[in-house]
Structure 1
C-alpha cells in the first residue's frame, strides 16, 4: 500500500502479534483500531485467508470509515471489518483524546470477571502501572453480549466512563491509549492484575488492596521506562520467537 500509512499499519500488526504472544487473545479473536483523523481509523480486519492475530501482517490493517462502518481504502477486496467494530467507533467518537482502542479476550480476565471480584491494587512495586490502574478503579460492564450494535456499544461506553480500561464480564477487556503500545500495555496490566488475583485465591487466600501509604510510595518511573523500554522488550520477544515482522 502506498497511502503513507505503512508505518501505522505495522504498529497495529505488531500490537496484534504482541497480544497473541502474551496470551491476551486466542486464535482469530480480538482487534485493534488506531485513529487516523476525525472520521477514519486503521482497523485490524479479517481477510479470506485469516490465520489469527498471532500472524497479523500490515495488509490485514485497513482504513475504515468510522461513520459508515466499512472499509474505505482501495484494496478492500474480500476483507471485512470486525463484527464488534462498534466497540471502536463508539469509544473513538466519545473520547476525542483517545487514539487507539484494543479489544481482547484474556482468559484470566474473563475468569476473574465471572468470579465477581474487583481487580484491586493487591501488589505494589511488582507492576507499578498496573497498581495505579487498579487503584483508580477498573469498571466492569455487566453484559456478555457480542457488541455488534450502536445500542450495545453505547451501554459499554457508559460503563467505561472516563476510565482507560474496562472489563467486559464473561467477555474480555477494552483498553484505550495514546498509541498502539499504550493501549496494548494497558491490556497487559489488566491481565496481570487478574492473573495475580487468581493465583492468590488459588492458594486459599483472599487478597486485599495494599495500604494507601504503600501506594503513595510507588513513583511514576516515566514513559521512557514504562512505555518505550517495555514495548521494545515485547517486540524483541516477538523477534526471538520468530514472530516479528520482516
Structure 2
C-alpha cells in the first residue's frame, strides 16, 4: 500500500475514522507515517485537554503570517469570476454571431508535498492555539499565591504617623514571597530596605529594596521563616554598608 494521504492521517488522529486493514498494515511497517500520526494525535490530545473556564482564543494574524511564510504561499487573493453573460435570452445565440468554444475544464491538483504541507499548516495553527492557551493558564496560575501569615507594621521612634502591612505568601511553585506596603513620609538622601528578623533582632536577613510604597520580594529558599517572623523596614543611607542602619521605620511580627 502507498503512503496514506495527509488528510487521512488527520482524520485518524481526530478519531473521525478507524484505520482500514491496509492502513494498519502500512502503519505497522512505515516508521515515517506512524511517527507523523503519533505527532498529530499528541496535538489533538493537547488541544482537547484545556482547563475549564479558560476559553481558547483564535490565533492572531502573526500565526497565519508565519504559516504562509513557511509554506511560501503569500496572501491569498480572490480569483476573478467568470465573464459576464452577453445580453440576450439565455441559451439563444445572437443572429450572425457564433458562440466562442467553451474553454476546456481544468482541475488543478496540489503536489503531494504541498498537500502534506497544508495539512500540517492546519495542525500548526491548532498547535499554536493550544500553546497560547496553555501558556496563558500556566502564567495565570504562577501569579496566584496563598497567604500564609500577615503582619501589621507600626511606626518606630522618629517615624510618627508611619504604618504598613506585610503578607507572607506561597506561590503555586512552592516558593515564598513577602508583599509589603508602607505609608511613611518621603525618604531624604537614602533608600528603604525590607528585612526578616529573629524575635530578638540579633539575626536579620535582607530581602531587598522597597521601591515606592509597596513591593513583593522573594524569600530566600531554605530560610526558616518561623525563626525569622519579624518584618522590618529600615531607612538606609547610600554609604555602601550592607548592614542594618538601626533606623527602622516600621516593624511587625508575622502571625497566621
TM-score by length of 2: 0.22
**Higher relative CO (CA 8 A, sep ≥ 6), structure 1 or 2?**
1
**Going by fraction, where is strand more abundant, 1 or 2?**
2
TM-score by length of 1: 0.23
